[in-house]
Amino acid sequence: MQIVVLDDFELGSENLGRLAAHGEVSVYEGLPADDDELVARADGAEVALCCWTRVGSAALERLPRLRMISLAATGTDTVDVGAAARRGVVVCRVPAYATNAVAELTLGLMLAVARKIATADRSFRETRAEDWRPFVGRELYGGTLGVVGTGLIGRRVARLGHCLGMRILAYDVCRSDELVEELDATYVPLNRLFAHSDVVTLHAPLTAETEHMVDAPLLARMPRHAILINAARAGLVQQADLYEALRSGSIAGAGLDVLDMDCPSAAGILALDNVVVTPHIGFNTGEASATLAAICTDNAVRFLEGRPRNVAGPDV
């Protein structure tokens, strides 16, 4: 049995030991540069563990022995799950490992943008002048938080917003009665949520239906003082439209833990003072990383023992 860890994903000695009990384990560093390198790494392996590596249909066709991919992620957008299913390759994911981590970063981005923390920090470091006048902020208390996607993370963010004294609007194809009863949240259509929220935060999965769901017409509905937070997937937002809304001042700011650096608008967004950007660190706490590694390993081990769990379908 050959097992391969395809990219920079720190499993730790205990988890590697669990895998080694089931076969020969190869561990690689860095992302494969292309499909040729991916296939070279996974050649002959029956089980592959990966975090950032993109595994498409072309690569899968060249890996006839591969039986299972254990993803160190909640979303499955890095793997062509449909192509894998057609080839009999089981794909497993890690649900709910970073709920608190992502929710707390989301709250941090909300506060950082609303209170202009990053720009104030840069200014003070550069000038050493205690000039508070350029940094007039906006309080979250008494405002409305629009939560797009009310899965585990979205519900946790809604609770944090509610603790700050915010009214909760929500949008999801599946309504959470728990959220309505606990927080008196109101489910509304997406265009109404954008029109009536002081902060909009995105927690939807990236699918064919949600890709670029936030575009110019939707952004135009937001109040000029409103801010957008995205700690989910960059593809949820039409990035060029967001840049124009931020540049023109039609919305007040944005907090982004995800940014499509291949899009020409990325450089423009990074140059704006009304944006706080982090390099996809939402999941990255010690607690969440330990949980991720353990469940990813457990998914592989359970598959090898004939007890697969957390199996992803094409629509996950």
260-271 tens-digit pLDDT? 999 999 999 999
Strands 47-50 and 144-148: unpaired
Assess whether 247 and 236 both reside in one domain: yes
Assess whether 131 and 222 both reside in one domain: yes
Residue 276: C-alpha distances to residues 103, 125, 143 (Å): 16, 17, 20
Gap between the Cα atoms of 203 and 229, Å rounded: 9
Phi, psi of 75 (to 5 degrees): -80, 160
Q: Which residue has the higher pLDDT, 313 or 7?
A: 7
Assess whether 74 and 176 both reside in one domain: no
Assess whether 190 and 127 both reside in one domain: yes
The helix/strand/coil state of 136 is coil
Assess whether 273 and 290 both reside in one domain: no
Q: Which pair of tokens denotes residue 28?
A: 């690689």
- Among 203, 201, 197, which Cα is nearest to 226's? 197
Question: Is 87 a domain residue?
Answer: yes
Assess whether 221 and 208 both reside in one domain: yes
Question: Is 314 a domain residue?
Answer: no
Per the structure, how many domains does the chain have?
2
Other C-beta atoms lying within 10 Å of the C-beta of residue 81: 23
Q: Which pair of tokens denotes residue 283?
A: 């999941």
70-88 tens-digit pLDDT? 999 988 889 999 999 999 9
pLDDT at 314 over 80: no
DSSP state of 199: E
Assess whether 108 and 93 both reside in one domain: no
121-180 tens-digit pLDDT? 999 999 999 999 999 999 999 999 999 999 999 999 999 999 999 999 999 999 999 999
**In DSSP terms, which residues pair with 228 in a beta bridge?**
200, 254
Question: Is 241 a domain residue?
Answer: yes
Phi, psi of 164 (to 5 degrees): -85, 0
96-123 tens-digit pLDDT? 899 999 999 999 999 999 999 999 999 9
Assess whether 52 and 195 both reside in one domain: no
| Average pLDDT of the residues of the chain | 96
Question: Is 91 a domain residue?
Answer: yes
200-216 tens-digit pLDDT? 999 998 889 999 999 99
Per DSSP, the residues of 29-68 read: -S--SSHHHHHHHHTT-SEEEESS--B-HHHHHT-TT--E
Q: What is the dihedral of CA 162, 164, 170, 174, to 10 degrees?
A: -50
Question: Is 236 a domain residue?
Answer: yes
Question: Is 88 a domain residue?
Answer: yes
Assess whether 67 and 105 both reside in one domain: no
Assess whether 88 and 104 both reside in one domain: no
Q: How far apart are the first and last CA of the chain?
A: 28
Q: What is the pTM of this model?
A: 0.86
- Among 312, 55, 45, which Cα is nearest to 27's? 45
Q: What is the dihedral of CA 163, 169, 175, 179, to 10 degrees?
A: 20
The domain that holds 216 is classified in CATH as: 3.40.50.720
Assess whether 126 and 222 both reside in one domain: yes
CB-neighbour burial class of residue 164 (10 A; exposed 0-12, middle 13-18, buried 19+)? middle
Task: Note down the domain range covering 231.
Answer: 99-277
Question: Is 309 a domain residue?
Answer: no
Assess whether 113 and 201 both reside in one domain: yes
The helix/strand/coil state of 91 is strand
Question: Is 260 a domain residue?
Answer: yes
Confidence of residue 8 (pLDDT cuts 50, 70, 90): confident
Gap between the Cα atoms of 215 and 237, Å rounded: 6
pLDDT at 316 over 50: no
